[in-house]
Amino acid sequence: MLEKVKRLCDKYYDEMAAFREHLHQYPELSFEEFETAKKVCAFLDKYKIPYKKDIAKTGILAIIEGKKSTSKKCVLLRADMDALPVEEDTNLPYSSKVKGKMHACGHDGHTSGLLGAALILNELKDEFSGTVKIMFQPAEENGGGAKPMIDEGILENPKVDAVFGCHLWGPMLENTAQIVSGEMMAGVDVFDLEFIGKGGHGAHPHTTIDALLMGARFVNNIQAVVSRRIKPVEAGVITVGRIEAGTTYNIIPERSKLQGTVRFLNDETQSILQKSIEDTAKAVALEFGGDYELKYKREYPPLINDEAMAIVARKAFAKVLGEQNLINNAKPDMGAEDFAFLTRARQGAYVFVGISKDLNNPALHHSPHFSWDTKNIKNLMQGDAMMALEFLNS
């Protein structure tokens, strides 16, 4: 089967490479992937692959039925379609033509790689049993398109038994893949915090309640939470990435606004971090005699690979890349991925696929200089197809 997959990959590669470079030139932000979705649907129409569109606004679900037997097994493969609000600076011949928008995380590759896998599986449908669902998802970067697609029923009718996905990964060399069992990526929450004091003249601080000082105290105090509230063998991160306060040098500000992110690998750590942020904000406001407003939002849960599904993914990528090019015992990454909603709903595995030629100068995600060789979509086309076949034929 591998040789047939490789042959079909070669057959469709030129089309998919051109498709990837077109998507790169015309990036669309989260829940705005209308033209991207139209382009995907045009290919599905061309090759007579049935699909449903406009799921969670721009999402697409294609379905390929194996003809070998009447097996009820069903597997889902997923790719994300959205770009980022980044001004590209790569000098690539297919650089973004849309000002302030760029595929700076590889989703153009994910989409074209999965579409190529769909074309491969469509040609092989007489040689496998069961059903493959192909999920093209909006808004991984902002807002999370996986959960609304799940809410609209993509895991039912027929019921999905397993889910698989891949991410092109800059911290790894080309032609390698990382597949771990258990914790793969962190969960993430975000918060907006405003301290409310009493403004006044910088020469008369005793008549004020300094909201800027409250914000500074919060930032300082909250950094002790991870080192003193979380078990040393567990992972947690609290980052305050934005502070806004004041209008000029000699006025003590009445309000300070902070925004931050919280990352964790399990629900217990998440609960501790959230409560600590709430308690610290309250304590700081009480200490200074001011007030506060906190908006805390749960974003994505941790992404946990199922052990049995990780084995399926390893078998697939070992055939594509060679066993010697698999990384099986890496530490979790504290980045977040809304594929986690799929692995919470069904057993599944997520795979990092390397794209860097030199780890001294790796492809840096979310950077205006993010760049990788289009040929790497071959590993996605073959890897996605082989994961589906390994699961359905196991």
Given the residues 28, 33, 80, 82, the one annotated as active site: 82
Binding-site annotation: residue ranges:
105, 107, 141, 167, 366
Asked if the peptide bond before residue 158 counts as cis, ω within 30 degrees of 0, the response is: yes
pLDDT of residue 161: 98
Per-residue pLDDT at 23 exceeds 90: yes
Is 194 considered catalytic here? no
Give mean pLDDT, residues 178-183.
95
Structure tokens at 68: 């070998």
Given the residues 80, 140, 194, 210, the one annotated as active site: 140
pLDDT of residue 353: 98
Could you tell me the domains of the chain?
1-184+303-393 (3.40.630.10), 187-300 (3.30.70.360)
pLDDT of residue 382: 98
Per-residue pLDDT at 33 exceeds 90: yes
Is 210 considered catalytic here? no
Structure tokens at 127: 């040689």
What is the Cα–Cα distance from 196 to 209, expressed in whole angstroms?
A: 8
pLDDT per position as a tens digit, 48-73: 999 999 999 999 999 999 999 878 99
Give mean pLDDT, residues 363-373.
97
What is the Cα–Cα distance from 18 to 352, expressed in whole angstroms?
A: 23
Note the pTM of the prediction, 2 decimals. Answer: 0.93
Residue 245: closest CA among 286, 197, 296: 197
pLDDT per position as a tens digit, 74-119: 999 999 999 999 999 999 999 999 999 999 999 999 999 999 999 9
Per-residue pLDDT at 329 exceeds 90: no
Confirm if 56 and 152 have CB atoms less than 8 A apart.
Answer: yes
Binding-site annotation: residue ranges for Mn(2+):
105, 107, 141, 167, 366
Give mean pLDDT, residues 22-31.
98
